Amino acid sequence: MRQIRYRLLVALAFALMGFNLLQRGGFDESWLSQWRLNLEDVTQDIERIELKYNIIIKHGVAEEAIPDYWLLPPSSATAEPIEKANLNRFIKNLERELEKYPVEVIKQNLSTIYLFKELSFYGVGYGGTSIGNSIYLTGGAIEEGYDNTYMANVFHHELSSIFFRDHPFPKEAWSSINPEEFAYVDSYNEVLAAVTEANESGDNVGSHEEGFVSKYGQSTLENDFNMYAEMIFMDPQKLKSLSEKYPRVRQKYELTKNFYTSMSEDFFTM
């Protein structure tokens, strides 16, 4: 129902746009031709990415793309299809970020990318998530906060979770870097509270001395690693600077690099 309603709204929007142009006496087919060209371009971009990396990119989907057990309480997942107006930019951004990875690593670890406008679990909006070898990403308009940097960070974040699960991660060595009195949280409610507090705070300086690049990373070990993964691909100079100033950050930075290069020596050389 949600997908049918979306298509009807799109059709109505184009009908109203054409009517308004007719009212102004300025209607021509140039805007429609451009829209068709953009759609053709993004289709070609998607096909090129799928062929190169042997992955599937799904868009124009909603709850039907979500596993059944996510749809059931208490998670009660919901989703809305990504809008065509934002799809072109998202795909170009995705292709650019994929190029930071060795092709064989993507082929061996990633199977499907699902693109949505919105995705929520437990009544809370998510930027993305992953299950198995698939990642679920959201992308909206820039004015809604979905700029290229945000979308790229979420991609690297979720892809790093697949690596974290599927490859031997040095959990003990990583945890030993944390302050002796520190402990990651256990329950989902504690994780949600920690993430919410981190998002509201925004001040990460105090966390750096303890070995965290953000307060978000203090929630779970996986989230801690995810934040290092985001930064090593999106702002490597900042991460290097932090590692030179804070010994605990330096140790986790080295573990992060070693983890990626254990999958392929081609990491960070492209």
In the predicted model, what is the mean pLDDT of residues 243-268? 98
Share of the chain above pLDDT 90, in %: 72
Q: Are residues 215 and 247 in the same domain?
A: yes
208, 246 contact by CB (below 8 A):
yes
In the predicted model, what is the mean pLDDT of residues 121-131? 93
> In DSSP terms, which residues pair with 104 in a beta bridge?
none
Average pLDDT for residues 201-228, to the nearest whole number? 88
pLDDT band at 106, cuts 50/70/90? very high
> Do 85 and 100 touch, CB atoms closer than 8 A?
no
Q: What's the structural domain count of the chain?
A: 2
120 and 77, same structural domain?
yes
The answer to whether position 269 is within a domain reads no
Which domain does 238 fall in, by range?
171-263
The tens digit of pLDDT for each residue in 64-90 reads: 999 999 999 999 999 999 999 899 999
Looking at the chain, list the stretches that DSSP marks H as alpha helix, in order from N- to C-terminal side. Answer: 2-24, 30-53, 68-71, 84-98, 103-109, 148-166, 171-177, 188-201, 205-208, 221-234, 236-245, 247-263
Q: What is the pLDDT averaged over residues 235-243?
A: 97
C-alpha distance across the termini of the chain, in Å: 45
Residue 268 lies in a domain: no
Whether residue 101 contacts residue 52, with contact meaning beta carbons closer than 8 Å, is answered with no
pLDDT tier for residue 269 given thresholds of 50, 70 and 90: confident
Residue among 151, 41, 145 nearest 88 (CA) = 41
The answer to the question of residue 270 being in a domain is no
Q: Is residue 10 part of a domain?
A: yes
Instruction: In whole angstroms, give the CA distance from residue 260 to residue 240.
Output: 16
Q: Confidence class of residue 39 from pLDDT cuts 50, 70 and 90?
A: low
Q: Is the pLDDT of residue 19 over 50?
A: no
- Residue 16's pLDDT is 42
- Domain-ending residue, one of 166, 181, 205: 166
| pTM for this predicted structure | 0.83
Computed over every residue of the chain, the mean pLDDT equals 86
Write down the pLDDT at residue 201: 54
The pLDDT of residue 244: 98
Give the torsion through C-alpha atoms of 43, 45, 50, 51, to 10 deg. Answer: 110
Contacts of residue 94, defined as CB under 8 A and 6 or more positions apart, other chains included, come to: 49, 57, 113, 151, 155
